[in-house]
Amino acid sequence: MDPAGQTRRSFVYRRLAEAGAVFGAVADVALAVHYGDPDAELETARRLGLADLSVLPRVGFKGAGAAKWLAAQGVSLPEVNGAAAQPDGALAARLGPDEVLLLGGLDGAAGLVGRLDEAWAEASTVEPRGYPVPRRETHAWFVVTGAQAADMFAKLCAVDLRPQSFANHRIAQTSVARANAIVIRADLAGTLAYHLLVDSATADYYLPVLLDAMSEFTGGLVGHQALQALLQ
């Protein structure tokens, strides 16, 4: 599957392709499914892996009434700067009292994210319900996995993200490698993992910076298959 043939393209698909990515369809988008050796990538993912999930569904809601409306839609909401897993595999990240970012599941299905998008557009209520934010476009989505993920972040980020100080499902909205970023710890079936959301225009800057920071730990890019394998 050629990502350049798609309407929706990852912000870094060229760099992934240069690194040997094999793209495949996950739901309706082209993802780097592996880089030639899924078994080795699983090991890398356990040690220190980086995957680009930018093309997968996500959405944000913010503004007056957003939290209340989402709760009414059945979204379980955590405290501010916390995240909560949803039954379909989505993750609700509370960025502010009335600001929530919803990351879809790794399977790429529209799921909760798609349902909320539609429900907001179709709502006829006059009650305030916040406003949707196109997070699939404003932010690139990377996931950094593995036991040494925190050591890698220590080279880029001044916030203490070590697992003993930064519990699962905690969020840091901070500066990573001198640009604004959202870091969400969300372990993948016991493997330490952080979602990293950055301004989509900086994705092209971040990818090589992250790979360089990972190199001393022999970390590297991993495909979607390796992430799925972590979950099993």
Partner 1 sequence: MTGASARGGANRIAGGSQVDYGKPLGFEFEGRRYEGLAGDSIASALAANGVWLLSRSFKYHRPRGVLTMAGHDGNTLVRVGNEPNVRADRHPISEGLAVKGQNYRGSLEKDRDAWLGRVSRFLPVGFYYRAFYKPKWAWQRLWEPWFRKSAGLGEADLAAAHGYFDKAFGHYDVAVIGGGPAGMSAAAFAAKAGANVVLIGESPVLGGALNYARFDVERAGAAKTRGELAADLEKSPNLTIMTYAACTGWFADNWLSVVRGERLHKIRAREVILATGAVGQPAQFRNNDLPGIMLGSAAQRLIRLYGVRPGRTAVVVTANDDGYGAALDLLDAGVTVAALVDLRPESGTAPCEDAVRERGLTVFNGYGVSEAVPVRGNRHVSGVRIAKIGERGAVGDGGQTIPCDLLCVCNGGMPAYQLALQAGGRLGYDDGRSVFSITGLGGHLHLAGAVNGALSLEAALADGRRAAWRAVQALGIGGVTEPVALADPTVQRMRPHPIATHPRGMDFVDFDEDLQVKDILNAVAEGYNEVELVKRFSTVGMGPSQGRHSALPTARLVARATGRTVGEVGVTTARPPVSGEKLGVLAGRGFEPERHTAMHHRHLEAGAQMMTAGLWWRPAFYGPRARRADAIREEIAAVRENVGMIDVSTLGGLDIRGPGAAEFMNRIYTFAYVKQQVGRARYVLMTNEAGAIIDDGIACRLSEDHYYVTATTGGVDRVYLMMLWWNAQWRLDVDITNVTAAYAAVNVAGPQSRALLAPLTEGIDLSGEAFPYMGVREGLLAGIPARIFRVGFVGELGFEVHVPTSMGEALWDAVTGAGTEFGLRPFGVEAQRVLRLEKGHIIVGQDTDAMTTPEEADMTWAIAKRKPFFVGKRSIEMRGRRLSKRKLVGFTLDADGPLPEESNLVLRRGEIVGFVTSVARSAALAKTIGLAYTARDASEPGAAIRIRLSSGGDVNGVVVAPHFYDPENKRQEM
Partner 2 sequence: MKVMRCPLNGERNISEFTCLGEVSEPPAPDGASDEAWAAHLWNSNNTAGVVREWWCHVPTSYWFIAERNTVTDEILRTYAAAELFAKGNNE
Name the residue nearer to partner 2 (CB basis): 127 or 160. Answer: 160
- 175 lies in the binding site for partner 2 (CB under 8 A): yes
Stretch that binds partner 2, among 9-17, 172-180, 189-197, 203-211 (CB under 8 A): 172-180
- End-to-end CA separation in angstroms for the chain: 25
The dihedral formed by the CA atoms of 148, 14, 34 and 91, expressed in degrees to the nearest 10: 60
- 180 lies in the binding site for partner 2 (CB under 8 A): yes
What is the length of the chain? 232
Query: Sign of dihedral through CA atoms 118, 124, 127, 132?
Result: positive
Which of partner 1, partner 2, none sits in contact with 96, Cβ below 5 to 8 A by type? partner 2
Please state the closest distance from residue 178 (CB atom) to partner 1, in A: 4
Give 105's DSSP letter.
P
**Of residues 84-113, those binding partner 2 (CB under 8 A):** 95-96
- CA–CA gap between residue 11 and residue 164 (Å, rounded): 33
HSE-CB at 185 with a 13 A cutoff on CA atoms is 24
Please state the closest distance from residue 62 (CB atom) to partner 2, in A: 11
Of 220, 171, 177, which is closest to residue 37 (Cα–Cα)?
220
Which of partner 2, partner 1, none sits in contact with 58, Cβ below 5 to 8 A by type? none
Q: Which of 73, 81, 138, 168 binds partner 2 (CB under 8 A)?
A: 81
Q: Which residues bind partner 2 (CB under 8 A)?
A: 80-81, 95-96, 158-159, 172-175, 180-181
